[in-house]
Amino acid sequence: MKPIQMVDLKQQYFKIKNEIDAAVLGVIDSSIFIGGPQVNTFAQNLSQYLGAKHVIPCANGTDALQIAMMALGLEPGDEVITPSFTYVATTEVIALLRLKPVFVEVDTKTFCVEPKAIRKAITSKTKAIVPVHLYGHSAKMEEIMVIAKEHNLFVIEDNAQAIGGDYYFKNGTVKKTGIIGDIGCTSFFPSKNLGCYGDGGAMCTNDDEIAEKLKMIANHGQSKRYYHDMVGCNSRLDALQAAILNIKLPLLDSYIDARRKAADFYDNAFAGNEKITIPYRADYCKHVFHQYTIILEDVDRQGLVDFLAQKSIPSMLYYPVPAHRQKMFASFGGSNFALEKTDWLTERVISLPIHTELDEEQQNFITGKVLEFVNK
Ligand SMILES: *Cc1c(COP(=O)(O)O)cnc(C)c1O
């Protein structure tokens, strides 16, 4: 059996080695390392794939979120509604810009922010909502957009874990996640569903004015060369990463299929087990399984992690501490938030290996060991 990894980037690379190597060497040969045709082509390719009018590449997913908040003109003290049950980047940029994170509950089934909780958290200072499509499952965007419209709020989708996912609206419209709100932000961190070989990220929007601002802010607030109209930052996707992404983007749908197949295998193995809740798949979206995360009840979770590790099976706790309990947010009143469901999930979730190269032999071994421990 091949060794089991949380994400097997090496095996994935071997399947496309010739194309990747040629593309990387091509960039080096051209010596156009920053900007240039590979980056422009990738922005076009991704906007076509997503059905977004504009895609603005940037240096990483965290920058994408930060630049999005800057472009929407959010001011210090403005309140931004966000789940606490997410990766730190989502909430960190809110604090970095001196905005006020307002942490709300997630649905214990989908792990995503609850529209009802958003409604309750709205005050006169609320300016934006940041739904996170956690683990590859979309938040309830149709309801969230209704709330945003009613209260005149911006919506920034954190699509870092769900690129390629579909959202099914009640009237039959289908859209990719990330293009439903005002701005969608994504990451090409190597382990993400569409990963490059370093850092990378992108923002997308259908709004021309917002697109211009995003572009300017990512490039030192520059309107034309050496004329800087606003304070920005330096956030670029480099040409090597863009060249790699140009090869991997056409494979994204097949990567998603492979992840969904692996998820089906796990689902079948765990179905009906009283101590394991398999990932919920709401009928309003297509889950792209960035993570395969189960909820354990009456199981010694750390014991399971250790038991699996002994058998060379990696597993992860995403995330062991929710944002509102991080020291980082102490001065933002993090501990004032009472988020029972978030705490409940934090103590019970565990993510198993899922990636494009996982085979049945490996999955049989993993599920066998998980069940051996859980049922003992
Ligand atoms: C990965 C990730 C980010 C940040 O992306 P980076 O490219 O690592 O900066 C933001 N939000 C979520 C939910 C993520 O998973």
Asked if residue 18 is part of any domain, the answer here is yes
> Within this chain, do residues 47 and 139 fall inside the same structural domain, yes or no?
yes
Asked if residue 2 is part of any domain, the answer here is no
In this prediction, residue 307 carries a pLDDT of 98
Q: Which domain holds residue 32?
A: 9-250
Q: Closest Cα partner for 27 from 17, 16, 36? A: 36
- Rounded-to-integer distance, Cα 332 and Cα 232, Å: 24
Asked if residue 1 is part of any domain, the answer here is no
Is 204 strand, coil or helix? Answer: strand
> Within this chain, do residues 293 and 361 fall inside the same structural domain, yes or no?
yes
In this prediction, residue 186 carries a pLDDT of 98
> Within this chain, do residues 271 and 230 fall inside the same structural domain, yes or no?
no
Q: Whose CA is nearest to atom 14 of ligand 1?
A: 160
Cβ of 351 below 6 Å from ligand 1:
no
User: How many CB atoms are located within 10 Å of the residue 268 CB?
Assistant: 12
Of 220, 250, 280, the position where a domain reaches its end is 250
- Say what the alpha-carbon torsion angle 319, 323, 324, 328 is, to the nearest 10 degrees: 130
Cβ of 86 below 6 Å from ligand 1:
yes
Asked if residue 4 is part of any domain, the answer here is no
Beta carbons within 8 Å of 45's beta carbon, 6+ residues apart: 246, 249
> Within this chain, do residues 279 and 152 fall inside the same structural domain, yes or no?
no
Q: Is-above-0.75 flag for pTM?
A: yes
Is 276 strand, coil or helix? Answer: strand
Asked if residue 355 is part of any domain, the answer here is yes
Share of the chain above pLDDT 90, in %: 99
> Within this chain, do residues 46 and 28 fall inside the same structural domain, yes or no?
yes
- Rounded-to-integer distance, Cα 86 and Cα 106, Å: 10
Of 230, 250, 270, the position where a domain reaches its end is 250
- Rounded-to-integer distance, Cα 37 and Cα 216, Å: 19
Cβ of 89 below 6 Å from ligand 1:
yes
Of 217, 250, 283, the position where a domain reaches its end is 250
Q: Is 31 exposed, middle or buried (0-12, 13-18, 19+ CB in 10 A)?
A: exposed
Ligand 1 atom nearest to CA at 63: 9
Cβ of 217 below 6 Å from ligand 1:
no
Instruction: Give, for all 376 residues of the chain, the pLDDT tens digit.
Output: 999 999 999 999 999 999 999 999 999 999 999 999 999 999 999 999 999 999 999 999 999 999 999 999 999 999 999 999 999 999 999 999 999 999 999 999 999 999 999 999 999 999 999 999 999 999 999 999 999 999 999 999 999 999 999 999 999 999 999 999 999 999 999 999 999 999 999 999 999 999 999 999 999 999 999 999 999 999 999 999 999 999 999 999 999 999 999 999 999 999 999 999 999 999 999 999 999 999 999 999 999 999 999 999 999 999 999 999 999 999 999 999 999 999 999 999 999 999 999 999 999 999 999 999 999 9
Q: Closest Cα partner for 129 from 96, 168, 95, 102? A: 102
Terminal CA-CA length for the chain: 25
Ligand 1 atom nearest to CA at 62: 9
> Within this chain, do residues 94 and 173 fall inside the same structural domain, yes or no?
yes
pLDDT, tens digit, for every residue of 167-226?
999 999 999 999 999 999 999 999 999 999 999 999 999 999 999 999 999 999 999 999
Cβ of 356 below 6 Å from ligand 1:
no
CATH number at residue 365: 3.90.1150.10
> Within this chain, do residues 94 and 207 fall inside the same structural domain, yes or no?
yes
> Within this chain, do residues 15 and 117 fall inside the same structural domain, yes or no?
yes
In this prediction, residue 198 carries a pLDDT of 98
Retrieve residue 179's tokens. Answer: 């293009």
In this prediction, residue 294 carries a pLDDT of 98
- Rounded-to-integer distance, Cα 12 and Cα 241, Å: 16
Q: Which of 140, 175, 192, 248 is catalytic?
A: 192
Cβ of 92 below 6 Å from ligand 1:
no
Cβ of 62 below 6 Å from ligand 1:
yes
Active-site residue 170, yes or no? no
Q: Whose CA is nearest to atom 2 of ligand 1?
A: 160
Asked if residue 108 is part of any domain, the answer here is yes
Distance (Å) from CA 341 to ligand 1 centroid: 22
> Within this chain, do residues 198 and 230 fall inside the same structural domain, yes or no?
yes
Asked if residue 126 is part of any domain, the answer here is yes
> Within this chain, do residues 128 and 276 fall inside the same structural domain, yes or no?
no
Distance (Å) from CA 340 to ligand 1 centroid: 24
Place of tokens 């997630």: 106
Asked if residue 3 is part of any domain, the answer here is no
In this prediction, residue 373 carries a pLDDT of 98
Distance (Å) from CA 271 to ligand 1 centroid: 30
pLDDT, tens digit, for every residue of 278-299?
999 999 999 999 999 999 999 9
Instruction: Indicate the number of domains in the chain.
Output: 2
